[in-house]
Amino acid sequence: MENMMDSVIGRLDAWLTALLFAVAILTFWSIGSWWGRRSRPQPGEDPGIKFTDASMALLGLLLAFTFSMALGRHDQRRQAAVAESNAIGDFYTCASLLKEPSRSRLQAVLRDYARQKLDMAHKLAWETDQEQAIQHCQEMHARMTDMVAEAIERGTAIAVPLTNTLNNVTSSHAAYLAANHERLPWIIVVLLLLGSVVPAFLMGLHQGASHKANLSGTISFVVLVTLVVFVTLDLNQPARGFIRVNQESLERLIQSMAK
């Protein structure tokens, strides 16, 4: 159930989910306004306004909490991308100390591997494509391991650093995948939706009861909440969207490999 819900929410683009939030907020505000106009006006100060204020404060905490979580995961993906680029570069430098033909063969595989990682970061969005790319990377890891084993059998003097840099490449790849698979749990997104529609309903209820609809304030509320939700969910999508991890370190590495 949990994996299915995470998959469904993860497949929706951030802008589409944010649009659904906006429609839900406006819908619940309209329902509250309609309900408020049908109710009898209460003399004096309405004690229900305290619940509206409390729900707005809770919504602010939820927005800040989810945005902080999404931004933290985005930063983890950025650090994992830099670490993986450094690991590939170190392995490439170590491979340059090997004798021919092992040097050229291993460096060619590393160049293809770096381009494959860049394609994964820029182009792949769906789980099926990612699984195929991950399988390809694992096959390239096996080829690297065979080449390193062959170089060690031939008595290379850099057996230890060569093995260590190979291990760094495989471990950084695993860390990169783990960072990219970390998403906001679906229950938090649902809680954020509930935290958005409840204050909208209460606002509409009080505006309807007072027969004073504040359209400018309501629209501003909807726009601000929608924008925050959009940015939060866009940060939560590593493979697509407007906010992506900068791959400049890997691009520079590929350019240096081509020289």
pLDDT at 6: 54
CA–CA gap between residue 212 and residue 215 (Å, rounded)? 9
Nearest Cα residue to 209 out of 46, 26, 51:
46
Q: What is the pLDDT of residue 253?
A: 93
Asked if residue 239 is part of any domain, the answer here is yes
**What's residue 191's pLDDT?**
92
Residue 62 within any structural domain of the chain: yes
Res 134: pLDDT: 86
Q: Where is average pLDDT lowest: 168-172, 219-223, 239-243?
A: 239-243
Number of H helices, E strands in the chain: 9, 0
**How confident is the model at residue 89, as a pLDDT?**
95
pLDDT at residue 240 above 80? no
Q: How many CA atoms lie within 13 A of 27 on its CB side?
A: 8
Rounded mean pLDDT, 197-208: 88
Domain membership of residue 68 (yes or no) is: yes
Residue pLDDT, tens place only, 59-106: 999 999 999 999 999 999 999 999 999 999 999 999 999 998 999 999
What was the pLDDT predicted at 2?
47
Does residue 17 form part of some domain?
Answer: no
**Residue 207 placed within a domain:** yes
Distances (CA, A) of 25 to 77, 106, 162: 32, 56, 57
Establish if 6 belongs to a structural domain: no
pTM of the predicted model as reported, rounded to 2 decimal places: 0.82
How does pLDDT run across 105-159, given as a tens digit for each residue?
Answer: 999 999 999 999 988 887 655 555 677 888 899 999 999 999 999 999 999 999 9
Tally of residues, the chain: 259
Domain that holds residue 143: 24-31+49-258
Residue 240 covered by a domain: yes
**Are 33 and 208 a contacting pair, CB within 8 Å?**
yes
Work out the pLDDT band at 13, boundaries 50, 70, 90. Answer: confident
CA distance 2 to 187: 9
Per-residue pLDDT, 10: 63
pLDDT at 41: 60
For residue 164, the model assigns a pLDDT of: 96
Number of separate domains in the chain: 1
In a domain, 44, yes or no: no
- Please check the confidence at residue 20 and state whether its pLDDT lies above 70: yes
pLDDT of residue 12: 75
* pLDDT tens-digit map of 147-196: 999 999 999 999 999 999 999 999 999 999 888 888 888 889 999 999 99
